[in-house]
Amino acid sequence: MSGNDKNRVIIFDTTLRDGEQALQASLSARQKLQIALMLENLGVDVIEAGFPVSSPGDMASVREIGLALKHAIPCGLSRAVDKDIDAVYEALKDSHHYRIHTFIATSAIHVQDKLKKDFSDVVQMAVRAVKRARNYTDDVEFSCEDAGRTPIDHLCRMVEAAIDAGAGTVNIPDTVGYTLPQEFGGIIKTLFDRVPNIDKAVISVHCHNDLGMATANSLTALEYGARQIECTVNGLGERAGNCSLEEVAMAIKTRSKYFEGLYTNIVATNIARASQVVSGICNEPVPSHKAIVGSNAFSHSSGIHQDGVLKNRETYEIITPESVGFKDNNMHMTARSGRHMIKACLKNLGYQDDTYDLDSIYQRFLKLADKKGQVFDYDLEALLFFSEDDDEAQFGLLGLNVVAGDKNIIPTASVKLRVGKRTRIDAGTGNGPIDAVYNCITRLTRIDASLTSFNINAKGEGMNAQGQVDVDVLYEGRQYHGKGLSTDVIEAAALALINAYNSVYRAKIIHTKENKE
């Protein structure tokens, strides 16, 4: 599969940039790395890891991702200004190969009302930005923000100028999800008809889903010559989201005849896992009816459909759940399973052993196996996502005891917590056992945040499930998310709050450092 293959559709994933910027609570560097490695396993070609100039945290995480990726190309976003472009270079300069993605708005409303400039100035800024980025790398992408609403003459002029300046990829975003498929396809067609140097660049599309057209618009653009699609897992993103990676990948694969042999490098059988990983880490549930990855996407409720499927699956099923990686969780382990088994199971789930610490996972697996008896592959995966490196985190749960009962008993808790290198203990009451635990944790950590949401879900199936608690806390105007998983829901609740408070603590440290610099 060569990079010049005209049938190959490049998949540019922006879950960690456009997707992440839409989340209530931002992700930690570790969570972003986990997603990036999963995307690489999924076969994504380009991974937009973040917007380095936006914060030192983003800069560090883009750098870390850039160094960890082996095949996928890491990319960082920048406005068309020097300091942003330099920040992407700083973040990615030690990576094997990297892309600088620079953008400026081109529609009249953005140029006049947001940038308060003339279109000619904007073209000059774009050319300057692309040239500056080209001093750092050969792989430069330029985006015309709000291209969907840009007068076509302006768009042609901008695309030609960006290619002349050295952009190897030019992206045409429908930033506000305004266009309709034939209209958007028409824009791409006109670019191919009128821009004289268009053959020197890959034309990319980046469609938002405000009218529910993101996938249709992106696929239509392929028919007119676009060869890169920008998308996110589960369609995560600003407002109604971005084009969904799994939808375009499976449409291209399932309808390859219609698309006359176009293909992507996406490993279809890794799609279900990718969806679950992103949904779990980002705390964004996948709607049950979501195409390709929703829990109902392959279930047939009507009697007529069930009858048809029993006679011939293809009557009502155009893709199978197995083809996108949904399978029965039949791998199970016990406390007698050795490290090799754990490593093999994680490999089977798509995790290479250099992406996790086997010793630490194994120790936690043994504790879980003692409590649960049988450990399933989804439990093992949860250990990866719920791992809080004990030495790195400021707070760690060392012990917990609760008394709860009917209305004659006052719910009481005692909590033992590691705070930095010290151990602290507190006891108290609450209006329920979890409230009592939360009061203790709040006093012990001295983090006075307000709890804005609390959810308990079963992770896994039936009686074998563990309890997963997700909390959001509000601290100094920012939301922080925490998760906890345990066979005991009160412990899961405690772990979730501690997890959120560790994020608050980390943010406080970063903020203090930034103020000192």
Query: Quick one: which of 154, 150, 148 has its CA closest to 120?
Result: 154
Between CA 171 and CA 182, with CA 176 as vertex, the angle to 5 degrees is 70
Q: Mask of contacts with ligand KIV, 16-45, x by CB under 6 A?
A: --x---------------------------
Structure-block tokens of residue 80: 């068309």
Tell me how far the alpha carbon of residue 112 is from its chain's centroid. 33
**Which is closer to ligand KIV, CB of 103 or CB of 356?**
103
- Decide which of ligand KIV, Zn ion, none touches 143; Cβ closer than 5 to 8 Å per partner kind: ligand KIV
**Cα–Cα distance measured from residue 367 to residue 371, given in angstroms and rounded to the nearest whole number:** 6
User: Binding to ligand KIV by residue 209, rule CB under 6 A?
Assistant: no
- Closest distance between Zn ion and the C-beta of residue 175, in Å? 6
Alpha-carbon gap, residue 375 to 207, rounded angstroms: 41
Residue 145 partner contact from Zn ion, ligand KIV, none using kind-dependent CB cut-offs of 5 to 8 Å: ligand KIV
Rank residues 105 and 413 by Cβ distance to ligand KIV and give the closer one: 105
Distance between CA atoms of residues 100 and 130, nearest Å:
9
Number of residues that make up the chain: 517
Q: Is 139 a binder of Zn ion (CB under 5 A)?
A: no
Q: Could you tell me the CA-to-CA distances from 142 to 49, 85, 106, 235 in Å, in that order?
A: 16, 12, 12, 22
> What does the block give as tokens for 450?
């307000």
Question: 325: which 2 tokens?
Answer: 């990686």
Classify strands 466-475 and 450-459 as parallel, antiparallel or unpaired. Answer: antiparallel
CA 151 to chain centre: 33
Q: Which is nearer to ligand KIV, 157 or 208 (CB)?
A: 208
Nearer to Zn ion, 77 or 251 (CB): 77
- Rounded to a whole number of angstroms, the minimum distance from the CB of residue 15 to ligand KIV is 12
Lateral strand order in the sheet of 450-459: 450-459, 466-475, 478-486
- Choose between 148 and 325: whose C-beta lies nearer to ligand KIV: 148
Burial of 259 (0-12, 13-18, 19+ CB in 10 A): middle
145 binds Zn ion (CB under 5 A): no
Annotated binding site: 18, 206, 208, 242
Structure tokens at 216: 């249709």
Subset of 79-118 contacting ligand KIV (CB under 6 A) = 103
Q: Residue 434 Cβ, how far from ligand KIV at the closest point, in Å?
A: 40
Q: Which is nearer to Zn ion, 107 or 439 (CB)?
A: 107
Q: Is 184 a residue that touches ligand KIV (CB under 6 A)?
A: no
Question: Distance between CA atoms of 147 and 191, rounded to whole angstroms?
Answer: 12
Q: Give the nearer residue to ligand KIV in terms of CB position, either 75 or 493.
A: 75
Q: Helix and strand tally (H, E) in the chain?
A: 16, 16
- Nearer Cβ to ligand KIV, position 141 or 472? 141
For the bound state, the minimum distance from the C-beta of residue 172 to ligand KIV, rounded and expressed in Å, comes to: 9
Print the SS3 string covering 104-138. Answer: EECCHHHHHHHHCCCHHHHHHHHHHHHHHHHHHCC
Out of 26, 175, 337, 468, the only residue in the binding site for ligand KIV (CB under 6 A) is 175
Binding region for ligand KIV (CB under 6 A) out of 1-9, 123-131, 167-175, 455-463: 167-175
Helix, strand, or coil here: 449? coil
Report whether 261 contacts 254 (CB < 8 A): no
Segment contacting Zn ion by CB under 5 A, of 14-22, 189-197, 364-372, 386-394: 14-22
In the complex, what is the shortest distance from the CB of residue 493 to ligand KIV, in angstroms, rounded to a whole number?
37
Residue 208 beta carbon to Zn ion: minimum distance, rounded to whole angstroms: 6
Amino acid letter, 264: T
- Looking at the Cβ atoms of 175 and 234, the one nearer to ligand KIV is 175
Residue 52 DSSP class: G
CA 165/CA 159 separation, integer angstroms:
10
Annotated binding-site ranges for Mn(2+): 18, 206, 208, 242
Is there binding between residue 18 and Zn ion (CB under 5 A)? yes
Binding window for ligand KIV (CB under 6 A); candidates: 107-115, 170-178, 364-372, 425-433: 170-178
> Nearer Cβ to ligand KIV, position 206 or 418?
206
**Does 472 contact Zn ion by CB under 5 A?**
no
* 486 near ligand KIV, judged by CB under 6 A: no
State which of residues 84, 145, 379, 381 lies at the interface with ligand KIV (CB under 6 A). 145
Q: Which residue from 149, 206, 372, 481 is in contact with ligand KIV, where contact means CB under 6 A?
A: 206
Choices 169-177, 259-267, 412-420, 484-492; region in contact with ligand KIV by CB under 6 A: 169-177
What is d(CA 170, CA 433) in angstroms, rounded to the nearest whole number?
Answer: 56
Size of the site for ligand KIV (CB under 6 A): 9
Is 173 an interacting residue with respect to ligand KIV (CB under 6 A)?
yes
- Phi/psi class of residue 158: alpha, beta or left (left: φ > 0; alpha: ψ in -120 to 50)? alpha
How far, in Å, are 30, 211, 355, 461 from residue 91 at the CA level? 16, 35, 20, 42
Which residue is associated with the tokens 């890959």? 202
Distance of closest approach, residue 509 Cβ to Zn ion, in angstroms: 31
Site string for ligand KIV, 249-278 (x = CB under 6 A): ------------------------------
What is the C-alpha to C-alpha distance for residues 387 and 360, in angstroms, rounded to an integer? 9
Report the interface residues with Zn ion, using CB under 5 A. 18
Chain residues that interact with ligand KIV, rule: CB under 6 A: 18, 103, 143, 145, 171, 173, 175, 206, 208
